[in-house]
A and B are shown apart, each in its own frame.
Chain A
Amino acid sequence: MSTERDALVLVVDDDVNLLRGLTRVLRHQTFQLLTARSGEEAREILKRWPVDVVICDQHMPGTRGTELLAWIAEHCPRTVRIILTGQPDLKTAVDAINRGQVFRFLTKPCSDWDLVMTIHDALEAARSPMNVSCCRPDHATP
């Protein structure tokens, strides 16, 4: 069981500006923030680090967020998955839930506060002994 200090949160987005903005906002949080600019980078990090929570954009060059999340669900089932998309559509939502088994579905723009709260909820879920099935009713979106 890791302490919060050791918690690892990975943000995947092809927009560097967005990654840097997020890093700035989350710099005081108790978890460590990792960033990846593509699906490939994310996979590399996930193979190397025990990431607790992944926040992933849907539209990225080369790969889709839901595809990455599906890969994570398969290979790192303990990692809690969150999607953050600027172009929400039904197909993305369905794929995210069915294939990526996401914990939360966030849309851009998302306020800092919501984001932080969601990450903490996700870390809570990751720490829970039953975190394999993440979508528990008590973690319903506020």
Chain B
Amino acid sequence: MNGQNETVKPVTPAPPLGFAVIEASARMGAANKSLDTQPCADASAASLVETLTRINECFLRLSSDDVYSEVLDEILKALKSEYGIIGYIDRSGRLVCPSLTRHVWNRCQMADKKIVFELDELGGVLAQVLKQQLTVCVNQPVATPPGHVPITRFLGVPLIVQDRLVAAIFLANKSSDYTQEDVRTLEMIARFLAPIVDAHIREEQEKEKRVEYEKRLAIQTQQLKRRNRQLECLAGLSDLAERGASIEEMVELTSYLLAGIFQDLPNVYSRIIFRGQVYQADSYEETEHKLSAAIFLGDDYVGAVEICCPKELLDDEGFSVYRMFVNELAERLSTVLTRKKVEEEIHAFRRQTELVLEVTRTGLSIVDQECRLVYVDPWRRAVYGDYRGKTTHEYFCGTTEPCWACPTARALRTKMRVTQERILPREGNRPVQTTAIPFLAPDGKWYISEITVDLTDRKRWEDRLVQAERLAAIGHLAEILSHEMNSPLQYLEHNLHFLRETWREISQNLQGLVLQKEGFSTGSQGNMLDDELLTREFPDALEETLTGVQRLAKIVKALRTFAYPDETEKTVQDLNAVIQVAVDVMHSRVSKVADVITEFDSTLPHVPLMAGAFSQAVSNLLLGAVEAIEKQQNSGDEKGLIVIRTRRLDTDWVEIEVSDNGVAMDSQERKNFLEPYFAHQPASVTSRRSLVHLYRVIVEGHQGSINVESEENTGTRIVIRLPTQDLEKAKAHGSHLTPIIASEQAAASPDTTTFLNGDISRLSYGK
């Protein structure tokens, strides 16, 4: 396109043209008048205005690129050209030619027929128009690329808006040469068209952009919708867990939720495999390509979430959100199921624990620093009701303040374990042992765990043991008493025989005297009644018989006290007398082995006693002392010594001391001796056996204390302290929780190293 340009005329930027046709045409008219002096100017101006009006209409009527062909037709018609192109510059600076003269398209033989051109690939006249932005008019054939339709004449104008090339119009092959008039007309058209095309292009571009945005928006909306559905699915999972569904139910329902997620994606199938069980829809189809994420229960692999889908979908970037989701779902499912499992385990453990508590009738309550209940076992919940917000004394005792015996309050105060035995009136008066154990929780606060162990069975067992011991003691007693009574019986019989015979002799002698008087003397010396017989033996025999009968009576009386069966209430008694009964009963057994010295305090006040039980306890101690003495005594040794002493400690306490000089107890024996429920006594330990009895009588029955001191070479000293008042009765008024063992008085009595609620570890022995 190097053809010589006949007319090349620079075009000054046109003044902006209004959009409105009328305005434009009015100005045109004015311009024409000033510029044109030719006679046909008016006529051509009129046709130009007409053309511009039609062009304007085209733009109003049509949108998109169709408008250009219409406009081109108008221009071709106005300038009588055969071919024409209107091209605009798009955003990327290319020339887009939506309208070519239509039949050109068919005739064009070029290899790469197209309507979009890079500016750089265009040369010749087109380049001049586009790059130099000049109006080019050539009235001779121009060089064209091969296959291009031949161009004989050419007229091209650029459309310029504010020094910017927006489009160009090319016309060719007018039957006659393009005139100055034609150039001016086209320039006029160009000047008119430039802002319209610019606006049109912008509008089209905007439209395009909007469409693109809308498309993107639609995609994003869909993605958000999907994401939303996914989140709903995850939320639904958590919801299921809260609604208390079982693990299997949760997996099944999750598989439904999962299927919902993929329902809008054809050929995508989902399923969940859990513990070998497969949860999937009927329509499930296995494909080669799968997304899969593992489900864990704790640390155990238990299954997977699986998505089957076509390969192209897997490669699609938009699908990656599902990839993420599957992993998320599996993770959430793992978390929820694990939590559920742990919850179930905790629940099961709690159930089990509570069952154990119930079966063993063991109570468990946990109390915080303010004595408020944190937990109460279900069995007692059923008895006492709702515990929340209540203090332990309000709940169990119905009092506003903790009572003196309250183990919880004491444990809180001392931070030490407190054990107490008591009777629970609201639980069928069952005897229990309550242990309050303080512990420091991780939150830095103190709590008390109160364990209540049922003692019904133990008490029953103890009762039986005591009963058995009592029977054994009675058996033992019978043995001793048989000897005690047999000796008097022996000599009673002898004496009575003697008395009978002597009486017979006396009566014979009386007859003899009568006969002698009458002169019939027998003279038999053997039948003679001597003085000694009459003055000593006969009265002595009578006297001794009486003594024997009295002794028997005394034994029988002692036996009655000793083995009194129905003694349940304490009566105020002379302690010394009761001890004497025991000494009397045991006399024959003890006297052969040891001398018994009793040092009774005559000022001793009368104390509340269960006399039978207490005298049995004393006799047991005596027996123990006897055995200890026998153990170390060899034949012919001197007798041992047992000392029984009573004394008044103060107004509240009296003391009974039983000491012997027999073999000392070893530490195990001592421990066993004071172990209240020591069950496995070796059979050889006979007398020290009545320990349960002793413990029950002294500590439980009389709220007293027992102290043992035993040293080698010195023997054993057992000190019993008894209260002068009935503590049990006194305390019973204070609380309906009657303590079986009162431990406070142990602290009240000075210098005692004794029982505190059977706490053996706190005992000390005299050393």
Contact = CB atoms under 8 A, between A and B. Distances in A.
B39 interface: no
Given A87-B486, A109-B489, A111-B493, 12 more contacts: A17-B491, A18-B487, A21-B491, A21-B498, A24-B494, A24-B497, A62-B635, A63-B635, A63-B636, A86-B483, A87-B480, A112-B494
Q: Name which of B485, B486, B592 has the most chain A CB atoms within 10 A of its CB.
A: B486
A18 B498 contact: no
Contacts of B502: 24
Interface string A23-50: 0110110000000000000000000000
Contacts of A22: 491, 494
A17 B544 contact: yes
A24 B537 contact: yes
A13 B548 CA distance: 16
A26 to B, nearest CB: 9
B248 interface: no
B488 interface: yes
Contact of B483 (A17, A27, A87): A87
A139 interface: no
B185 interface: no
Contacts of B591: 61
Contact of B493 (A13, A61, A109): A109
29 contacts: A14-B592, A15-B491, A17-B488, A17-B491, A18-B491, A18-B494, A20-B491, A20-B541, A21-B492, A21-B498, A21-B541, A21-B544, A22-B494, A24-B495, A24-B502, A24-B541, A59-B483, A59-B588, A62-B636, A63-B636, A86-B485, A86-B490, A87-B482, A87-B483, A89-B479, A108-B483, A108-B487, A109-B493, A112-B494
B526 interface: yes
A67 interface: yes
A110 interface: yes
Interface of B: 479-480, 482-495, 497-498, 502, 526, 537, 540-541, 544, 547-548, 588, 591-593, 635-636, 639
Nearest to A112: B497
Contact of B487 (A64, A86, A112): A86
A37 to B, nearest CB: 13
Contacts of A112: 493-494, 497
Nearest to B633: A62
A: contact size bracket: 20 to 34
Contact of A61 (B486, B488, B639): B639
Q: Chain A: interface secondary structure? A: loop
Q: Name which of A22, A25, A64, A67 has the most chain B CB atoms within 10 A of its CB.
A: A25
Nearest to B526: A28
Contacts of A107: 486
A12 to B, nearest CB: 13
Contact of A21 (B480, B486, B494): B494
Contacts of A86: 482-487, 490
Among all A-B residue pairs, the 8 with the closest Cβ atoms? A21-B494, A86-B486, A21-B491, A24-B498, A87-B483, A108-B486, A86-B483, A109-B489
Contacts of A85: 483
Contacts of A108: 483, 486-487, 489-490
Contact of A109 (B484, B490, B588, B635): B490
A138 B526 CA distance: 34
A60 interface: yes
A39 B479 CA distance: 23
A136 B521 CA distance: 47
A89 B443 CA distance: 70
A109 B497 CA distance: 13
A25 B494 CA distance: 6
Contacts of A24: 494-495, 497-498, 502, 537, 541
Contacts of A111: 493
B490 A21 contact: yes
B430 to A, nearest CB: 44
A110 B497 contact: no
